[in-house]
Amino acid sequence: MKKQIKITEQDSYLIFPIQAEQDKTPVLLYIGDTILTEVQIPVGKVENGKYEADYLAAIPICQYTGKMLTLVGNVPEEFMNAVHTDVQVKNSEVKRPHIHFTPQYGWMNDPNGLVYYEGQYHMYFQYNPFDTQWDNMSWGHAVSDDLLHWHQKDTTLLPDEDGMIFSGCGLVNKLGKMNLPEDSLLFFYTAAGGINQISKEKLSVQKMAYSLDKGNTLIKMDKAVVPTICKENRDPKIFWHEETKAYIMCLWLEENDFAILRSVDLENWELSQRLTLQKGFECPDLFQLPVSSGGSKWVFWCADGYYYMGDFDGYQFITDGNRKSAYKTKLPYAAQTISNLDGRVISIPWLRTNGCFKRYRGAMGIPREFSLIEKNGEWYVSQQPIEELIASQNEIAVEKQEKNNWIKLEQNKECAIKIDTILTITEQSILESMEWHIYQNKIVYHPLTGILMVGETVVNIGEGLKDFSIIFDKAMIEITAGCGIIYAVFEAESKEETGDISIKNRYLEQVKVYEIL
């Protein structure tokens, strides 16, 4: 089946009807005689001569005004007839978390290209607009002024003849490299060859795109900046190392192996180290955190939240040999720190949520500010809520029941809430469990054993913890404890947003409840 559309000035988007999670069919898109992209489209049933859709997915086409667009695919005529152009994407709104970013529609995974520029945070992300399952890896794009409330913009990078668009990073071109202006934004990503049909003869390489319009449009450069080192090498993360006057790229190679590469011009890269990190896997990040007593430590971070402290001289990272884990649950993954934040290290993870609402799947975690905390002679990364979240919270008055020191309140406003709790830990109090009841969700911590229960999920977060911060945002529950060293994320079993909240323990030292607006 073939369809041609002459793109006019009124055509902002090419619109596809999506029946999510059906059998997929490849559809090729051409601009003139040139392949624009190949996408795998889930194609469902035709009923009564109509092709119904769970949602509409869009590709921006403004830049092709006056040209002929051709679609080719083995799809029903009714599907092809339903493909059309429009000035906007007309989907009904669905309920979603308030401060956890979720895509308007489709599948989302790793955060990419996180960069702060001229008062705005840019978050690109691994994106499949055409289904609620992984495929068609592209870069979606969202922006925020406060890291809590995000506005999704047009998809910026689509799969091409070099492969799908896998993870990567962003930075401001402050030194005016690549013959581009100093106010341009640069993005490095993995072109994952061999995954789609139009790139079947190619391997994974590291490529670059740039933006001259504050991140709205990304222009791909033809040449790979780093050719294939290992077959599936991916996920470049780049920063400027002032001491040795070079850009540093961290790259996953294979299994538990990573590479550190150096460049003075962002075009020519030299391998300075290949290192193996126990259980380390993909999405590397390397950053420096200050130590309270003076000096700093370098942290090498991997997708599963495993991190390794050590020294970095601009050429080699030498670990202290200890692997630590930042996550107590499996939902957070592939976190990335934001580029161009002077003096702050803020990280955003992807949350591997199971819930699917026939419209979207996947969420981003609440941004966390990293610092170092010393405990029993060891240094750990603390992941505390960002100061922007603290500034947006309003305290709610709570009622304490004198008889048992419990807290109870009723919340009628639909918004994210935050509960900060401090326990008094003694030989007696450690025997009593701590309970939070948030609407219809039950959270229980046993100080004696270290067991935390959220609904049916049970994890061991450590014994004798006294400080807890719980953020409840529709389907998401984020818990930090132990001065931010403990971090766990859960999907709520009940999606209720209003109702009764109670906190039960006779040894409560302090409880504060906030609305996050």
Question: Which residues are the active-site residues?
Answer: 110
Strand order from edge to edge, sheet including 2-6: 2-6, 68-73, 24-31, 34-42
- 311: tokens are 């020294």
Strand partners, 498: none
Work out whether strand 360-361 and strand 106-117 pair parallel, antiparallel, or are unpaired.
parallel
Residue with tokens 């401090």: 422
Give the position of tokens 């004198």: 402
C-alpha span between 134 and 127 (Å, rounded): 8
Please state, in angstroms and rounded to a whole number, the distance separating the CA atoms of residues 376 and 379: 8
Which one-letter DSSP state was computed for residue 80?
A: H
Supply the DSSP symbol for 161. Answer: T
Report how far residue 455's alpha carbon sits from residue 473's, in angstroms, rounded to the nearest whole number: 16
User: Residue 210's beta-bridge partner residues?
Assistant: 186, 219
Picking from 142, 196, 186, the residue whose alpha carbon sits closest to that of residue 165 is 196
Q: Are strands 219-220 and 204-211 parallel, antiparallel or unpaired?
A: antiparallel
Q: d(Cα 486, Cα 382) in Å, to the nearest integer?
A: 8
Query: Are the CB atoms for 17 and 38 separated by under 8 Å?
Result: no
Coil vs helix vs strand at 162: coil
The percent of the chain in helix, strand and coil, each rounded to the nearest 5, is 5, 55, 40
Based on the number of CB atoms within 10 Å of its own CB, is 414 exposed (0-12), middle (13-18) or buried (19 or more)?
exposed
One DSSP character per residue, 394-411 reads EEE--EEETTTTEEEEEE
